[in-house]
Structure 1
């Protein structure tokens, strides 16, 4: 594993809304990307639940998953993730039971415990009337029980859902979900593409405390990474400024649509702002094919990742397709992404 890119590649898409575009544009681009990803051999195409963020159109995640799964034929489609504290577990069981019934053997259910937005948005999602992040383990167990044959034994049944096999993943950016995934013997995905600080510590904890289950005999860790690939290092760095601007807006508390790239970030941020953006985007591979290959190899070496999930918040759709095409070509000969 040390020098090879012989692990699966997957895609995390937020159905980004670019400046001057619409959500309808984003959905067309998301489906187009998924169809290309299927041809290029990516293993999974995941969408993430976020709310009240002008540049993210994947808020109704299960609805958009149906759109993507219905427009593709083989690639696994899933959530990266559903923010479980925003929902009653029964509702998620019914939604993903429906997806699995429509697209059998292709659906993943990745789950997180964050709100997917600020606290005002969290209150608008009526979290105070349901579960909270502190109740995440109990909500997760309830959700898993709805998929068991016979249901949870409380007289409530997920129809559809009950008796179906939908793979569960836990997502996180700290040790909480890493520890819970280890205890339950579930695969774990770390959100290092925007919160890399505890990546190595969380993966170490997950592997040390992992308990084999009927789902997994050994740990399976997915690592998130921003990939901005282009024909030259210079062009890739220019494309990357769209993500840097997007994170700068988050740091300032003013999220916006995905902005077009700029020639230089220097006039746009202060040294302190640059420090925060650089920290958040530290887990990124930016450059030509050779440069990105070296970056991804180093990430796999450092983390022992079993799978990489690539995020590319690129303003221009054709450039985004090209980035994922280049990345798919970095796999070792004879290996599918």
Structure 2
């Protein structure tokens, strides 16, 4: 194994993309097939993310999709990257992930985020009876921990005593500080918030306090990778992701669209700049094997990441599997 990658674990973030004019059933079929492929390639974990009211993302019922993936695999860790805790009563999450741990022992992770993962109207629809906000996140994490520890007045069954490692997720320094204070592993969403990556990781590492779960900092960073046989093909495949970001900028989220030959015909100069700011060249790596190797090594050197979790928004399922194969070949050279 080459030096830049020797002490780093590699994992997959799956947004369970809904393809244009295709069904969510196909999304889940593709996710299971990709997870089997990832396990064969030696990826460490396979995480799914909670989003709502997003036509292009099928993993809104995240714990159910986690169970689906775990049932099709044998060893790879499966989890949430993440559950948006303000959307839920912590007891319900303890029961869901306690159940997952009972079904798939020693394989389930629970990453927690403080954002709603949706627009204001959807957030209200999700939380209308919870009387909570993202500002309550630290108290909600603490409450969740008491259910797993079995110290709460109400018992989570299943849940009490479950072996479910908690991660805190973030795209700013808030969760970095909280993860450091609580001695929890920290995952930073650098794949869509590149500018804050290094400051957040620095805060986390400098302020880390050891805990029963973790004796030293454990930092995961997200990166978008679209790899193909040639850089030209990778850039073409990447137009699907670019169209998805463009639809978000326009306030009209869409299903994942097929690649197109000339993305410049689709956006204005302002829209192009906005997409390129979100899809930053440091945390979105597009190219052939040599280009991906060079940029991934530089990214790991800069972040000093313990683990890299890779999102690949590629329309064609076989091309998506090939992209993860290329990355696996690179890190195992």
**What is the TM-score when the length of structure 2 is the normalising length?**
0.97
CA distance in 1, matches of 2:312, 2:292: 13
CA distance in 2, matches of 1:180, 1:49: 21
Match of 1:301 in 2: 301
Match of 1:46 in 2: 47
Q: 1:197 aligns with which of 171, 195, 198?
A: 195
> Shift in Å at residue 151 of structure 1?
2.7
Match of 1:20 in 2: 21
Does 2:294 align with 1:317? no
8 Å contact kept, 1:87–1:130: no
> Shift in Å at residue 190 of structure 1?
0.6
CA distance in 2, matches of 1:104, 1:129: 30
8 Å contact kept, 2:88–2:130: no
Match of 2:330 in 1: 330
> Shift in Å at residue 250 of structure 1?
0.5
Match of 1:230 in 2: 228
Deviations 1:276-313 (A, max 9, x none): 11111111111111110111101001111110000001
> Shift in Å at residue 263 of structure 1?
1.4
Aligned-residue RMSD, C-alpha: 1.3
> Shift in Å at residue 164 of structure 1?
1.5
8 Å contact kept, 1:86–1:130: no
CA distance in 2, matches of 1:5, 1:263: 34
CA distance in 1, matches of 2:134, 2:11: 27
Give unpaired runs (5+ residues) of structure 2. Answer: none
What SS is found at the alignment partner of 2:59? coil
| Higher share of residues assigned helix | 2
> Shift in Å at residue 245 of structure 1?
0.6
CA distance in 1, matches of 2:127, 2:186: 27
Distance 1:135 1:2, change over 3 A: farther
8 Å contact kept, 1:131–1:139: no
8 Å contact kept, 2:18–2:56: yes
8 Å contact kept, 1:88–1:130: no
Range moving further from structure 2, 108-117 or 3-12 = 3-12
Q: 1:260 aligns with which of 258, 261, 268?
A: 258
> Shift in Å at residue 131 of structure 1?
2.1
Deviations 1:106-131 (A, max 9, x none): 00000001111100100111246332
Alignment of 1:140-151 (within 5 A): 140-148=141-149, 150-151=150-151
CA distance in 2, matches of 1:59, 1:65: 11
8 Å contact kept, 1:77–1:108: yes
CA distance in 1, matches of 2:300, 2:179: 20
8 Å contact kept, 1:86–1:127: no
8 Å contact kept, 1:3–1:301: no
8 Å contact kept, 1:2–1:300: no
> Shift in Å at residue 265 of structure 1?
1.4
Alignment of 1:17-96 (within 5 A): 17-96=18-97
What SS is found at the alignment partner of 1:52? coil
Match of 1:11 in 2: 12
> Shift in Å at residue 214 of structure 1?
1.2
Deviations 1:119-152 (A, max 9, x none): 010011124633210100000000011011x332
CA distance in 1, matches of 2:61, 2:217: 30
What SS is found at the alignment partner of 1:223? strand
CA distance in 1, matches of 2:237, 2:131: 41
CA distance in 1, matches of 2:47, 2:14: 6
Deviations 1:219-266 (A, max 9, x none): 111010001000000000100111011001101111000011111211
CA distance in 2, matches of 1:262, 1:3: 37
